[in-house]
């Protein structure tokens, strides 16, 4: 039962994260000629995302928030140009605030796990993008760390997340391709 709960939360939150990511990266997806669900639904996407989020919050609010905040922080951390965000803070300041809030409000171990596994997925995604896509985001991790650094950091984050909870790590690793396949048909 525990495993099923974890799977549902990870799958639903994964959908939410991927939808948000697609929403923010619409231009690059259009350039690459990809067909994402977000491009088809346009404005209709927001209510669905929120509803999905409430479903997974009902099952396990802490894991949901952990995963979502972690993905937010990892995604933010990439934006290192020092641009001001809508909150009036710079990206790295927002990252620090969110990290602080996370460690105060959430289960520390769960939060570290979420950060590690999200970093792993992000790095993997960047690595794949680097080889498959014609146009990549400028803030692809490979541009900062190099190929070797990206591989090493992804192994490191995988080991950390496996060390904290190998069951959940495995669930995330299997849920991610399903989510991507569902949204990019």
Partner 1 sequence: MMGVNYMIYRILIIVLSSMLFGYLLGRKLGREEGLKEGILFTPIILRKRSLEEGKCTSCGREYFDLDGQS
Q: Which positions touch partner 1 (CB under 8 A)? A: 145-146, 148-149, 152-153, 155-156, 159-160, 162-163
Tell me the sheet residues that pair with 84.
90
Q: Which is nearer to partner 1, 66 or 161 (CB)?
A: 161
What is the rounded CA–CA span in Å between residue 175 and residue 168? 10
Query: Could you tell me if 56 and 12 are in contact, meaning their C-beta atoms sit under 8 angstroms apart?
Result: yes
Structure tokens at 25: 């990266």
* CB within 8 Å of 101: residues ≥ 6 apart: 69
Least distance (Å) between residue 44 CB and partner 1: 42
What is the rounded CA–CA span in Å between residue 112 and residue 85? 25
Residues listed for the chain = 185
Least distance (Å) between residue 156 CB and partner 1: 4
Q: Which is nearer to partner 1, 80 or 159 (CB)?
A: 159
Q: Which is nearer to partner 1, 64 or 169 (CB)?
A: 169
Q: Which is nearer to partner 1, 15 or 124 (CB)?
A: 124
Least distance (Å) between residue 153 CB and partner 1: 6
């Amino acid at each position: 039962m525990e495993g099923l709960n974890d799977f549902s939360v990870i799958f639903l939150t994964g959908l939410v994260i991927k939808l948000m990511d697609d929403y923010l990266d619409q231009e690059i997806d259009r350039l690459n000629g990809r067909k994402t669900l977000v491009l088809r639904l346009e404005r209709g996407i927001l209510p669905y995302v929120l509803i999905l989020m409430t479903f997974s919050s009902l099952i396990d609010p802490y894991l949901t928030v952990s995963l979502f905040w972690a993905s937010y922080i990892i995604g933010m951390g990439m934006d290192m140009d020092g641009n001001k965000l809508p909150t009036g803070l710079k990206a790295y300041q927002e990252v620090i605030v969110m990290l602080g809030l996370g460690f105060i409000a959430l289960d520390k171990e769960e939060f570290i796990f979420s950060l590690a596994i999200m970093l792993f997925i992000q790095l993997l995604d960047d690595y794949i993008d680097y080889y498959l896509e014609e146009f990549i985001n400028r803030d692809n991790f490979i541009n900062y760390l190099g190929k070797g650094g990206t591989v090493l950091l992804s192994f490191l984050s995988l080991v950390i997340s496996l060390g904290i909870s190998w069951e959940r790590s495995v669930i995330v690793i299997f849920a991610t391709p399903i989510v991507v396949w569902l949204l990019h048909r």
